Structure 1
Amino acid sequence: MMSDRDILAELIADYTASEKRDVADAVIAAGWRPPARKIETPAELDELQPAEALLDSSKGERNDLAAVIRDARGNVFTRDMHNLEEEVAHGRPAGWWETGTSRDDRDSTTMTFPVTVLLVPAAEVDRDA
């Protein structure tokens, strides 16, 4: 059985040093994914998926794709999709809803850091590109 290093070496063997983007594309196509993003501060967490991104006010529609995170204690949260209009109107970030609870809504300042980003909706990834 080949080691991880040998598999990677085989993937990039056909490329020269000047073809870095091609090497990266080949490695990604083979299934490599970057390590999960870690967020260290409430301000950084608020930027992950602001309330404005969840509410397309120009259309009056909601984006129902919520980011998912895991805090340092192992609790999993999704962006709280309730009261978005109010949060946008008052300039507040969307809260976080602990999965598996009936209604444990938290704001970013009450999270246990660092948090690990488990899912960022594709629309958010495209927006950041």
Structure 2
Amino acid sequence: MNDRDALIGIIEACTPRPVPESRKMATNILAAGWRPPARMISTAAELDELQSAAALLDSGRGERSELAAVIRDARGFVYSRDMHNLEEEVVHGRPAGWWEAGTSRDDRDSTTMTFPVTVLLDPTEEADHGE
């Protein structure tokens, strides 16, 4: 469910009967800059699903860094999705790789991340805001 649909549900739950303008209201609220609280992820399996290698390869969007998800771990370090080894992740069943922002350190995988992590950018959610 995208942010707009969630907001429509909230608006409609607060009214005694369906509001025909609820879609427009939700769109206008999002356009004004409101966003729900950041999503929290607490397991490596959930983090792997945030932006799975298989889905990126299937969509033809691998190797495009502007589509990388961004997270912050429990220690405050920020990471972006490693988009360069997607084929290896799929073929060898490896967990998702993440690069620490602003460093040249080797990437970490989801199993070595310090949880919980906060999703700072999910490109699929950002695309939904334009609906």
Normalising by structure 2, what TM-score?
A: 0.69
For 2:50, give the aligned amino acid. Answer: L
| TM-aligned CA deviation for residue 21 of structure 1 | 4.1
- Given that 2:62 and 2:84 are in contact with CA atoms closer than 8 Å, whether structure 1 keeps it comes out as no
Which of 75, 78, 81 aligns to 1:79? It is 81
Partner of 1:62: 62
| TM-aligned CA deviation for residue 75 of structure 1 | 0.2
- Given that 2:99 and 2:108 are in contact with CA atoms closer than 8 Å, whether structure 1 keeps it comes out as yes
Which of 98, 101, 104 aligns to 1:102? It is 104
For 2:86, give the aligned amino acid. Answer: L
- Given that 1:98 and 1:105 are in contact with CA atoms closer than 8 Å, whether structure 2 keeps it comes out as yes
Secondary structure of the residue aligned to 2:45 is helix
Compute the RMSD of aligned alpha carbons. Answer: 2.7
Normalising by structure 1, what TM-score?
A: 0.70
Structure with the higher helix share, 1 or 2: 2
CA 1:114–1:41 in 2, change beyond 3 Å: closer, same or farther?
same
Alignment gaps of 5+ in structure 1 = 1-11
- Given that 1:56 and 1:63 are in contact with CA atoms closer than 8 Å, whether structure 2 keeps it comes out as no
Alignment gaps of 5+ in structure 2 = 1-10
Secondary structure of the residue aligned to 1:55 is helix
Distance in 2, matches of 1:44 and 1:102, equals 26
Partner of 1:6: none
Partner of 1:53: 55
| TM-aligned CA deviation for residue 102 of structure 1 | 1.0
Q: CA offsets per residue over residues 9-62 of structure 1, 9 Å max, x none?
A: xxx9xxx922144443342233211111111111111110011123238x6x62
Secondary structure of the residue aligned to 2:94 is coil
For 2:121, give the aligned amino acid. Answer: L
In our comparison, the structure showing a higher alpha carbon Rg is: 1
Distance in 1, matches of 2:84 and 2:96, equals 8
Structure 1 residue ranges, 4+ long, deviating more than 3 angstroms after superposition: 20-23, 122-126
Distance in 2, matches of 1:83 and 1:101, equals 18
Give the percent of matched residue pairs that are identical in Structure 1 and Structure 2: 73
- Given that 1:53 and 1:63 are in contact with CA atoms closer than 8 Å, whether structure 2 keeps it comes out as no
Secondary structure of the residue aligned to 2:118 is strand
